[in-house]
Chains A and B, each alone.
Chain A
Amino acid sequence: MLENIKLTREQTFFLIFICALGNIVYTHTWIDDEADRAAWVAALAGILLVTPFAVWMLYLGENYPEKNLLDIVEDGLGKFPGGIVSCVYILINVAVAVAILNLFTELIKSVFLPKTPVGVIMLILVLVAVSIISSGLKAFSRTAELLTGLGLANFFFSFVFSVPKYFHTEYIFPVFDTSWLGFIKGTLFMTGAASECLLLIMIIVRFIPDPGKHCLWVVTGLVFCAVVFSAAILVIMAMLSPELAKRIAFGGVNAARIIQVGEFIRGLEVFIFITYQFIAIGKISVCLYCGWTAVQKILHNIKPWLSLAALSSVVLALSFWLNSYNKAYQLAVVLGTYILLPFSILMLLICTILLIVKKKKSDAMDS
């Protein structure tokens, strides 16, 4: 389904926001051990470090109007190498989707629906995500805009109740009571994990009007994501203590669980869960959309609905096969540490070299 739309500032902002969140909602505990009380600072710095790569992609998009990074690679390297790059891109997106599907399903299973079969939950999540992206990027980006806004408001409104009673400053200070090495490792992991958003930018760069000029749309999205996510880690740590925060999964839900104000304000994990679900569905939709775009590129836009069905079936089948929180967590960590950022940098390098070659050729032609 080739679309000819232009994203607005808000749509770009929220798409980047939801895309950078993704698996780090669960894997942030990986850095809590290394960065300790400075984990929230590491998260802030880590996500901010993605910004230069995002801007680099927008700069490339400026030089190749109406093309995404996969198009640029295919045009420059030829169909076969371009196809291989697209296949790798699809695999990475499928892996990210499988990881988040398993992580979120386990959250539902352990906290809310212990007796419901995992397969049913996964199937529903994938069906909702497929419905959302089936109507195209315009409707999807508008949905992301709405869901992210509501999810954020819900998250912080729920934690407002924690401030007077459950917010322990002694759990936060001293902030930098950690080693530099640990802090740097944590920061770099966060950069790698938040690089999930680069996978989306590779595709939507085509839909951002004048991407070089509007790079602030993406930058503000990333900055906002960094601030919000580090604030969320800070709140969780301040409520649970850094020691507990790094040992338990679903920090937000578990932190909300302990809040009780009077007789009537309790069980806030049910409300926090709404935000987790918005993020999970948003992220699965993004992965499916990116993968679908690449599949269509390889198949030359033949039977798009069939390719979407096939792709979502693959995601679903692999998720059934994995069916484990621990394995999914490990997969997310591996993706964040070794795959996402290196792949993005490789794409950027290839496209940049192709751009330089193209410019040299055109200079030679002119002279």
Chain B
Amino acid sequence: MFKTYKNSTKLSDSTMSLAERQASQRELERLKKMIIAGSDVAQELALVIEQLRRSASNAENQKVFATIDENFSWLHDFLGQGIGLTVGKYDILAGNAQAGIAYIESIADKQLISSYVIEPLLTKKVDSNIRLDNLLNFIQLESIYIHTTSNYIMTKIVESLLNGDAVLFINGLQEALVIGSRKIEKRSIEKPDNEGTVLASLESFTDDLETNCSMVIKRLPITTLCFEAFTQGELSRTKLKLVWLEGIANEKVIEEVERRIKKINVDNLDGVGNLAELIEDKPLSIFPKYRQTQRPDVVAKALTEGHFAVLCNNSPFAFFAPITLWDNFKTMDDYAERVTSSSYLRLVRYVAFAIAVLVSPVYLSFVTYNHIVVPQSLAVNISTGREGVPFPSGIELVMMTLAISIIREASLRIPGSVGYFIGTLAAVVIGQAAVTAGYVSTSIIIVVAVSEISSFAISTTTLVYTTRLINYFFITLASVLGMFGLINGMIIVMWYVVSLESFGVPYLYPLIPFDLEGMKDTFVRLAVLKKRLRLLAPFNRYRIGPEGNSGKRE
């Protein structure tokens, strides 16, 4: 750099006039001064940063003060006034000591603090000769009968306050008692709205992690049910639990999931969907490689089959993996109904999936390229319906499919009964008006409606959106190249699906790779499986079988 500068100066010497040279010298001087001034500013900034760092580290290691007032004042400074910190000083244990209680009003249980902390402390008597350092022990053992821990680092105490705990300071003691007083606002256990069943359980997960865990434990009250807790999210500090059945789930998969969860480094983790996206293999894939569910019975069943599940605080859903494509077509009703009925219903779901994906592109390819397939009477009806429609069939189909998706999204967002009203208005009235006005043909409305309704017969919501995306892809190919394009699209989708894996399990398993035992509960449900799937639970495959064999490791 320096050499270049020197060379350029020499060159300028030969070309510049004297006045220009002086001007450039002045400019150079000015730049030098600015650089010197800049380095001074940088030094000052470094000093300020160092001071800030020290003060931050001091705050991190700040111990509990000896006086209650100092503690209260520090907490007020640290948390600010707006958070709702409530403090109070009391002469406790018949006037033998002075205590201060602090808690955040919105998240702590005031009734509990008043009845089970302050009242016993005020009424309880203590030997006046008790030493100050034994006082906290006495209070823990004799006065307060709820969960308490002692702590002497102020930042830790602040964390506890933010979790809803109350903190008890004693004048003269540089240690505080953290009292579990979190006010838990819980939704009651409700019916699973998104996964309705007729004969199966009517419980669904809530937003509370512990309640959700209790629902799983209720269904699998065994010692091999394992939970591993994690806290992730720099800002959200979201609690989550990895659940699996020891001896059944593939331990390598569990280790890998643990590793991936520990590796997560995000500021906000707001639910299981977000979490699953962070730990799955190909997050951009259009096919779901995990299944979200709000049903504890589904999770319990999945665990017994060798899957793992993850429960997350503030999320009424759990997800389980590894899954295959076929898991998206199973419901708990399949196992509550008779074998024949459940097999029939499952086949209906597969047919619905095929219709959702294929009916509109097949219609398009038949009416635009391969007319021979369409019977004469039907062809006449279709062409009569299309009379006066200004758009080609392909454009018409894309427009209507998009319109239906918009109506569905809009009716989901519009609150309550208005949503149903708007949905009906849009679908029936506008649809009818569009046909009458000649903007779209009747047959297109029928095809799009059948496709859209069929997509909702699939058991998981995530796959519903997948069907819509594939549908658009197929419509595009069919409109450009007819049946040839559509078949190419099908081949590409099939190739894509077979190359997918969910935590090491091929996505089309047990069809590909083929596993006869697994096929008994894939397209139809023939019987209760005697063995678990080879790739899901490789070391413990017997579910039922010869006496004494059940549950044994192979």
Contacts and interface: CB of A to CB of B under 8 A. Distances in A.
Interface string B244-265: 0000000000000000000000
- If over half of B's interface residues share one DSSP class (helix, strand or loop), that class is named, otherwise mixed; here it is helix
Contact of B492 (A108, A131, A270): A131
Nearest to A276: B487
Contacts of A277: 484, 487-488, 491
Contacts of A128: 488, 491-492
B495 interface: yes
A170 interface: no
Interface stretch (A88-96, A184-192, A217-225, A260-268): A260-268
B512 A146 contact: yes
Contacts of B376: 263
A10 B491 contact: no
B506 interface: yes
A92 to B, nearest CB: 25
Contacts of B373: 266-267, 270
Contacts of A269: 372
Given A112-B370, A263-B377, A143 B494 contact: yes
A273 B483 contact: yes
B441 to A, nearest CB: 21
B84 interface: no
A264 B513 CA distance: 37
Given A8-B514, A121-B484, A266-B375, A112 B499 contact: no
Contacts of B456: none
A310 interface: no
B492 A142 contact: no
A270 B495 CA distance: 22
A135 B499 contact: yes
Interface string B2-30: 00000000000000000000000000000
B423 interface: no
A147 interface: yes
A113 interface: yes
A269 B488 CA distance: 17
A145 B485 CA distance: 21
B139 to A, nearest CB: 65
Interface string B491-503: 1101100110000
Contacts of B485: 124
A161 interface: no
A139 interface: yes
A8 B513 CA distance: 7
B481 A113 contact: yes
Contacts of A362: none
Most A CB atoms within 10 A — which of B374, B481, B511, B512? B512
A284 to B, nearest CB: 11
Nearest to B485: A124
B492 A112 contact: no
A264 B375 contact: yes
Interface in A227-251: none
A108 B487 CA distance: 12
A36 B526 CA distance: 47
Interface string B418-453: 000000000000000000000000000000000000
A81 to B, nearest CB: 37
Contact of A142 (B374, B481, B483, B508): B508
Contacts of A266: 372-373, 375
Contact size range, B: 20 to 34
B394 interface: no
A110 interface: no
Nearest to B486: A274
A316 to B, nearest CB: 16
Given A113-B482, A273-B483, A274-B487, A143 B498 contact: yes
B484 A112 contact: yes
Contacts of B494: 143, 146-147
Interface in B503-553: 506, 508, 511-514
A54 interface: no
B481 A270 contact: no
B326 interface: no
A290 interface: no
B369 A113 contact: yes
A139 B496 CA distance: 8
Contacts of B372: 266-267, 269-270
Interface in B306-342: none
Contacts of A142: 498-499, 506, 508, 512-513
A113 B512 CA distance: 33
Contacts of A132: 491, 495
Interface in A16-71: none
B513 A267 contact: no
Nearest to B374: A267
A143 B499 CA distance: 8
A205 B544 CA distance: 39
A278 interface: yes
B504 to A, nearest CB: 13
Contacts of A286: none
Contacts of B374: 267
A263 B375 contact: yes
Contacts of A108: 484
A21 B525 CA distance: 34
Contacts of A274: 483, 487
Interface string A258-301: 00000110110110011001100100000000000000000000
Interface string B446-485: 0000000000000000000000000000000000011111
A100 B379 CA distance: 35
B431 to A, nearest CB: 27
B513 A10 contact: yes
A168 to B, nearest CB: 23
Contacts of B484: 108, 112-113, 121, 124, 273, 277
A124 B487 CA distance: 11
A146 B507 CA distance: 13
Interface string B364-392: 00100110111111000000000000000
A281 B490 CA distance: 12
A52 to B, nearest CB: 28
Contacts of A278: 487, 491
A5 to B, nearest CB: 12
Residue among B374, B484, B488, B492 having the largest count of chain A Cβ atoms under 10 Å: B484
Nearest to A125: B488
A367 interface: no
Given A113-B482, A116-B481, A128-B492, A145 B487 contact: no
Interface string A101-130: 000000010001100100001001100100
A288 to B, nearest CB: 14
Contacts of A116: 481
B241 to A, nearest CB: 34
A269 B372 CA distance: 9
A139 B499 CA distance: 5
B292 to A, nearest CB: 26
Nearest to B362: A270
Interface string A2-13: 000000101100
A273 B369 CA distance: 14
A270 B377 CA distance: 19
B495 A135 contact: yes
A261 to B, nearest CB: 11
Interface string B264-278: 000000000000000
A146 B372 CA distance: 28
Could you say which of B372, B374, B511 has the most chain A C-beta atoms within 10 Å of its C-beta? B372
B212 to A, nearest CB: 36
8 contacts: A142-B498, A143-B491, A143-B494, A146-B508, A263-B376, A266-B372, A266-B375, A273-B484
Given A131-B495, A143-B491, 8 more contacts: A124-B481, A124-B488, A135-B495, A135-B499, A143-B499, A146-B498, A266-B373, A267-B372
Closest 6 CB pairs of A and B: A267-B373, A139-B499, A267-B372, A142-B498, A143-B495, A263-B375
